[in-house]
Amino acid sequence: MSSSEITLSCRQLWKVYGDEALKRFDTRALPEAAERVDEVATSVSAAGGIVACGDINLDIKRGEFFVLMGLSGSGKSTLMRCMSRLTEPTAGQLTLDGKDFLSASTRQLRDIRRTKMGMVFQHFGLFPHMSVLDNVAFPLRVQNIPEKDRLDKAREMIQLVGLEGREDAFPDQLSGGQKQRVGIARSLAVDPELWFLDEPFSALDPLIRWQMQSELLRLQTRFKKTIVFVTHDFMEAVRLADRIAIMKDGRVVQIGTPEEIVLAPADAYVAEFVKEAPRTRIIKVKQLMEAVSPKDTSAAGLTGEGVTTDMTLEEALSWSAGRGQSLPVHDSEGRTVGVITPERLASVLNSQQLGQ
């Protein structure tokens, strides 16, 4: 990955809470403690503190939808707050667009937040005495954008999140889902390049949640922002993410695409989440196929119609329904690049049914 493709990068990043614990440790030595995170966590907790993030290393690519997933208390919000510098990390490095972000001055930080970064939190944080329109236009007022321009922009954002007609309502006249849309519109009004969303949909009921996820995906297709999204819902992570970092006890235990994680969970903790996931809807044909070189294909009788590498197994199954034979796999240019055997398909289906 070239450095220009990376928006945000964490290296040996730590966040330790607890004044007593912090007094007892030389925090400058933490970055060297990569192999001893458990040991440090035990000593910190013996001193009444907690390692909320221990030795975090990750790169978030430009335009990527990056999800932090893990159980409650695993350190997701702390890591996101460190990434946006709402919380100061105890040790480690943070780079934004190739520059040291931890040394940014208060003024630089304010400018970056106003122009580059957006944040949406679980608890909406709307101003109760302001209308929907004024709430959405607020960050533009802070930027001293003339009134007409900011109201035009706010109306456009309100339309984008499907709230037109409710511009004059006040937050307490709105449902939870509508308030969350206002929060999203407000944060989009500044057109952030890097967008942090901490469990923005967790207060919503399943149907609205699904709709909001769809809207977010639609926005992402249109604007291609870099998104860091926190959730403790694995299926939400799978639906939204380009890549997922799975956190446990302040550590990242696995980073990968949804398919990589579902196919090869790093440990029992990850496997427990994966158990719930409908594999056939996540795994793509290219991950299950046996690759073949062009000269093998005719020998194996693999000419003719087939499935494509980027189909999900579910799509491939419905395509192949009842054929019970090996299916040729084509790439986007129509070349035959592999084969899916009924045995391989069956192995995924069986493990799904057994919940393995």
Interface residues with ligand ATP (CB under 6 A) are 17, 50, 52, 70, 72-78, 232
Q: Which of residues 116-145 bind Mg ion (CB under 5 A)?
A: none
| Nearest C-alpha neighbor of 53 from the set 250, 253, 255, 254 | 250
* 251 three-class SS: strand
Least distance between ligand ATP and beta carbon 230 (Å): 7
Q: Among residues 77 and 220, whose Cβ is nearest to Mg ion?
A: 77
Contact of residue 353 among Mg ion, ligand ATP, none (CB under 5-8 Å per partner type) = none
Q: Among residues 77 and 213, whose Cβ is nearest to ligand ATP?
A: 77
Least distance between Mg ion and beta carbon 76 (Å): 5
Least distance between ligand ATP and beta carbon 180 (Å): 16
Q: Are 287 and 257 in contact (CB under 8 A)?
A: no
Contact of residue 192 among ligand ATP, Mg ion, none (CB under 5-8 Å per partner type) = none
Q: How many binding residues for Mg ion (CB under 5 A)? A: 1
Least distance between ligand ATP and beta carbon 16 (Å): 9
Contacts of 78 (CB under 8 A, 6+ apart): 15, 52, 53, 87, 250
Q: Which tokens hold the place of 336?
A: 């035959």
| 212 vs 200: CA distance, rounded Å | 9
Q: Are 247 and 68 in contact (CB under 8 A)?
A: yes
| Using rule CB under 5 A, residue 254 touches Mg ion | no
Burial code (b: 16+ CB inside 10 Å, e: under 16) for 47-56 equals bebbbbbbbb
| Using rule CB under 5 A, residue 231 touches Mg ion | no
Q: Among residues 157 and 240, whose Cβ is nearest to ligand ATP?
A: 240
| Using rule CB under 5 A, residue 77 touches Mg ion | yes
CB-count burial class (<10 Å; 0-12, 13-18, 19+) for 74 = buried
Q: Which of residues 322-351 bind Mg ion (CB under 5 A)?
A: none
Least distance between ligand ATP and beta carbon 199 (Å): 6
Task: Mark residue 73 as left, alpha or beta (left: phi above 0; alpha: psi -120 to 50; beta: remaining).
Answer: left
Q: Which tokens hold the place of 160?
A: 């984008």
Q: Among residues 79 and 212, whose Cβ is nearest to ligand ATP?
A: 79
Least distance between ligand ATP and beta carbon 211 (Å): 22
Question: Residue 274, Cα to own-chain centre: how many angstroms?
Answer: 16
Report the residue number whose CB is nearest to Mg ion. Answer: 77
Q: Among residues 232 and 239, whose Cβ is nearest to ligand ATP?
A: 232
Contacts of 175 (CB under 8 A, 6+ apart): none
Give the bridge partners for 69, in sequence order: 231, 246
Least distance between Mg ion and beta carbon 186 (Å): 20
Give the bridge partners for 243, in sequence order: 66
Q: For residue 8, what are the CA distances in angstroms to 5, 80, 253, 326?
A: 10, 11, 19, 43
Contact of residue 74 among ligand ATP, Mg ion, none (CB under 5-8 Å per partner type) = ligand ATP
Q: Which tokens hold the place of 207?
A: 């149907």
Contact of residue 288 among Mg ion, ligand ATP, none (CB under 5-8 Å per partner type) = none
Q: Among residues 223 and 269, whose Cβ is nearest to Mg ion?
A: 269
Q: Among residues 78 and 84, whose Cβ is nearest to ligand ATP?
A: 78
Residue 76 one-letter amino acid = K
Q: Among residues 33 and 69, whose Cβ is nearest to Mg ion?
A: 69
Least distance between Mg ion and beta carbon 161 (Å): 23
Residue 141 one-letter amino acid = R
Interface ranges with Mg ion (CB under 5 A): 77
